[in-house]
Structure 1
């Protein structure tokens, strides 16, 4: 975390980041502890976030719903530049869509296997 001397208007407070991302402030702090986002500190030791942090948080929440772990999300976010463009967000969205579709296909295969007549095990005496 870096320290900033004055509050630049483009930086967000933890409350603003939470509101814009649709989460609680505790979620913002959680994602920060996990290394998905970073804050800067004011001379009064208050957190300030870049304006794209709410997007990162919204993406992380969707990625968790897809089934990615926080570590997997961090790996996906490694390719997002410090000042992301709409094209960067679209590439990330496309990646998450492909991952969700792959996971759905895997679950359909498991479901088909479970519904098949194949015995999972033979219990003695049954």
Structure 2
């Protein structure tokens, strides 16, 4: 009897995870923001450039058709998560709030494409 309850619980967990993955979905391409009215969004784009501007780290992201946006995140947040030796890959996936008036995405989370160059040694 306990095995059936355990199996039913596992099946329920996998069903919930499956439904959530459908709801969350895949990120939009930066080019899809051309017609986006603004708001919370998850977006993927090719990293063209990045650097520091005041208290923010900026990312210039390009979509498949060349549409480009600026994505901003507080520099201190990046340091907290990735450390001082962070690096970016060619493709970046971020989540945040998009403002179409100035083609700026205010990043809340970097989901893919930011790596720390520092790795702590493994404890033995």
Whether the TM-score (by the shorter chain) exceeds 0.5 is no
> Larger helix proportion, structure 1 or 2?
1
Q: TM-score range, shorter-chain basis?
A: under 0.3
> Larger strand proportion, structure 1 or 2?
2
TM-score with structure 1 setting the length: 0.27
Q: Greater CA radius of gyration, 1 or 2?
A: 1
